[in-house]
Chains A and B, each alone.
Chain A
């Protein structure tokens, strides 16, 4: 067999997160991702995936970008730049939105935090940090103060049912009655941190935003309390089972955001940069759909999807993998709007063979705990 080399991303100098030493200590397999040398897996992707679904998984997400926007004009700027409603976002809540270019393509998908009436944090993908920064700098008004805080803010995700008791043990202040997509200042080792009830796995859990020097202590405290370190491999299978998009796969600057079908992220009743295109139904040639494969064998990004009845080409796979919680493979694909409907039988042209599957409505995994009441998981 051939073992693919884990070569560097085209000549770029790879960066390391504050948890790099911990990854090596834990025997992680490291690989380049978004300009960083990141852990792909520790003990195994399937085991780490199950830890998030059943117990608690711990992810280093320090590579992600954090931008701080403040000033009386910040609301209006963000309202004009993001696809989601910003004005109606209460302080202490977060909302998922897209940053689009004039053509309606997606520069990045981000989480917006309203820290105070005139103060916000935007969290985006590591590989998009530079494009995000340049876009924001060019498009926010002079009165809005814009800072890239990615270097000062460490981020750790703790996901899964056991995340709740672990967070209760570690946080200095109560976390009960925190609802889904809310956040709150809290204390850890007598320092202020930001605790957010969000994540990218579908499970109940938290994202911790904290000073860089607290990253190692929090990481190790979570491990000591039973969380399993989990790498980007499991992060990908977890988000895929939930049908969540990943920039570079489902989202790109070259595809109009409306095709991704992110109704919850794209406000129908507001104008924003790119909204003319995003809202233009005539530009929607394809739509993002879920494919449930019949077997364990995975479809992969770039493979062609065919209609089973006549083998006509109807689209392209954007992400695919074996889904550990389902015991079979799943994929996301852009399929022609006119021809592909939920329930249709399809084939994926995967190298020498055809994989059978069916168009389904994501999420593929429907037992996730992300939106459940926190009290259910209290010790």
Chain B
């Protein structure tokens, strides 16, 4: 089951607005499954500004590298440093320990426009 405490994009990112107003970003379970074993995650520098829709990270699996897009605009406030040594966390726990980065200065109303869990799930069913 998809977590309902966050929003989703058609391009398989998730975004969760935290209590302090920052937004945590990751990829969905479906996305990690499609990529297969993740061997490397390239994360941005803290302090970089990321416009919505721009590449904010890159996830590499044994077979290929994939760009991850920022679902909303913001300033990179933190990156998941555990992924340096353990990129497989994205496979094992895409919604929790395998988060990618956290943005501050996000417009929460922009996140509201994204898909909720049910709508994202419907896009997956369409793709089948």
- Contact at A1–B36, with CB atoms within 8 Å? no
- Contact at A237–B12, with CB atoms within 8 Å? no
| Minimal beta-carbon separation of A107 from chain B (angstroms) | 27
- Contact at B64–A4, with CB atoms within 8 Å? yes
Q: Mark B46-80, 1 if CB is under 8 A from A, else 0.
A: 00000000000001101111111100000000000
Chain B residues closer than 8 Å to A310, beta-carbon distance: none
- Contact at A3–B31, with CB atoms within 8 Å? yes
Bound-state CA distance A329–B61 (Å) is 11
- Contact at B11–A2, with CB atoms within 8 Å? yes
| Minimal beta-carbon separation of B14 from chain A (angstroms) | 11
A321 adjacent to chain B (CB < 8 Å):
yes
B9 nearest CB neighbor, chain A only: A1
Most A C-beta atoms less than 10 A away, residue of B39, B60, B64, B67:
B39
Most B C-beta atoms less than 10 A away, residue of A41, A322, A351:
A322
Chain B residues closer than 8 Å to A40, beta-carbon distance: 63
- Contact at B36–A41, with CB atoms within 8 Å? yes
Bound-state CA distance A124–B37 (Å) is 29
Contact of A233 among B34, B59, B63 (CB under 8 A): B63
- Contact at A297–B42, with CB atoms within 8 Å? yes
- Contact at B12–A1, with CB atoms within 8 Å? yes
Most A C-beta atoms less than 10 A away, residue of B42, B62, B64, B69:
B62
Q: Mark B12-45, 1 if CB is under 8 A from A, else 0.
A: 1100000000000001000100111101101000
Bound-state CA distance A44–B33 (Å) is 9
Bound-state CA distance A297–B87 (Å) is 11
- Contact at B62–A3, with CB atoms within 8 Å? no
- Contact at A322–B60, with CB atoms within 8 Å? yes
| Minimal beta-carbon separation of A195 from chain B (angstroms) | 30
Chain B residues closer than 8 Å to A13, beta-carbon distance: none
A128 adjacent to chain B (CB < 8 Å):
no
Contact of B69 among A1, A237, A329, A351 (CB under 8 A): A1
A window 349-379: CB within 8 A of B = 351
- Contact at B40–A322, with CB atoms within 8 Å? yes
- Contact at A298–B60, with CB atoms within 8 Å? yes
Query: Given that A44-B37, A298-B60, A322-B60 are known contacts, is A1 also in contact with B27, CB under 8 Å in the complex?
Result: yes
Chain A residues closer than 8 Å to B35, beta-carbon distance: 1, 3
Q: Mark B69-109, 1 if CB is under 8 A from A, else 0.
A: 10000000000000000010001000000000000000000
Bound-state CA distance A29–B63 (Å) is 13
Chain B residues closer than 8 Å to A45, beta-carbon distance: 36-37, 62-63
- Contact at A1–B40, with CB atoms within 8 Å? no
B66 nearest CB neighbor, chain A only: A1
Q: How large is the interface on A (under 10, 10 to 19, 20 to 34, 35 or more residues)?
A: 20 to 34
- Contact at B39–A322, with CB atoms within 8 Å? yes
| Minimal beta-carbon separation of A88 from chain B (angstroms) | 40
A9 adjacent to chain B (CB < 8 Å):
no
- Contact at A3–B40, with CB atoms within 8 Å? no
A1 nearest CB neighbor, chain B only: B66
A46 adjacent to chain B (CB < 8 Å):
yes
Chain B residues closer than 8 Å to A29, beta-carbon distance: 36
- Contact at A297–B40, with CB atoms within 8 Å? yes
A295 adjacent to chain B (CB < 8 Å):
yes
- Contact at A46–B40, with CB atoms within 8 Å? no
| Minimal beta-carbon separation of A330 from chain B (angstroms) | 12
| Minimal beta-carbon separation of A302 from chain B (angstroms) | 13
A296 adjacent to chain B (CB < 8 Å):
yes
| Minimal beta-carbon separation of B3 from chain A (angstroms) | 18
Chain B residues closer than 8 Å to A2, beta-carbon distance: 11, 66-67
Bound-state CA distance A2–B66 (Å) is 6
- Contact at B63–A1, with CB atoms within 8 Å? no
Chain A residues closer than 8 Å to B42, beta-carbon distance: 297
A window 281-312: CB within 8 A of B = 295-298, 300
A6 nearest CB neighbor, chain B only: B34
Enumerate 19 A-B pairs (CB-CB under 8 Å) in ascending A order.
Answer: A1-B11, A1-B27, A1-B31, A1-B69, A2-B11, A29-B36, A44-B36, A44-B91, A45-B37, A45-B62, A47-B37, A233-B63, A296-B39, A297-B40, A298-B65, A300-B65, A322-B40, A322-B60, A324-B62
Known contacts A3-B12, A45-B37; 16 further A-B pairs (Cβ under 8 A)? A1-B12, A1-B27, A1-B35, A1-B68, A4-B66, A45-B36, A237-B62, A296-B40, A296-B60, A296-B87, A297-B40, A297-B42, A297-B60, A321-B62, A322-B60, A351-B65
Q: Which 9 A-B pairs have the closest CB atoms?
A: A322-B39, A45-B62, A46-B37, A296-B40, A1-B66, A297-B40, A44-B37, A3-B34, A1-B68
Please give the residue numbers on chain A whose beta carbons come within 8 Å of chain B beta carbons, in ascending order. 1-4, 29, 40-41, 44-47, 233, 237, 295-298, 300, 321-322, 324, 329, 351
